[in-house]
Amino acid sequence: FASLPLPVAGPPEKSDPATSNVRTLIEVGDPRRGMAPCAACHGPLGLTIGAPSLRGQQRAYLEQELQAFATESRRNDIREQMRSIARQLTSAEIAMIAAYYSGLGQQ
């Protein structure tokens, strides 16, 4: 199994409004809610030096950890940056963000 290539998938290609909204959160954020984009810290594809990698993470894990930040049961973020963002996300947004990043796969 170790010799097999990692699965590579692109972001969801659907053009429905929900997918468009989640891509906006990831790439632009939501200034009305005072939310920076995910890409500002985690990189445009969920992978950058100095921040946890989101690219290819398990969907359930990402949802669980975003919910944990939202409820403040996870508190290991410096200056509460993840908690302040996660508290403002709806459950549907959390699910879509998790789906997006898990769908990116790893290279």
Q: pLDDT band at residue 70, thresholds of 50, 70 and 90?
A: very high
Cα–Cα distance measured from residue 102 to residue 97, given in angstroms and rounded to the nearest whole number: 9
- 3, part of any domain: no
Q: What is the CATH number of the domain that holds 73?
A: 1.10.760.10
How many independent structural domains does the chain possess? 1
Give the Å distances, CA to CA, from 12 to 4, 9, 45, 65, 70: 24, 9, 13, 21, 25
The crossing angle, in degrees rounded to 10, of helices 59-70 and 91-103 is 140
Which residues constitute the domain of residue 35?
17-103
* Span 6-25, pLDDT tens digits: 665 555 555 677 778 999 99
- 6, part of any domain: no
- 5, part of any domain: no
pTM over 0.85: no
- 9, part of any domain: no
* Span 43-57, pLDDT tens digits: 999 999 999 999 999
- 38, part of any domain: yes
- 7, part of any domain: no
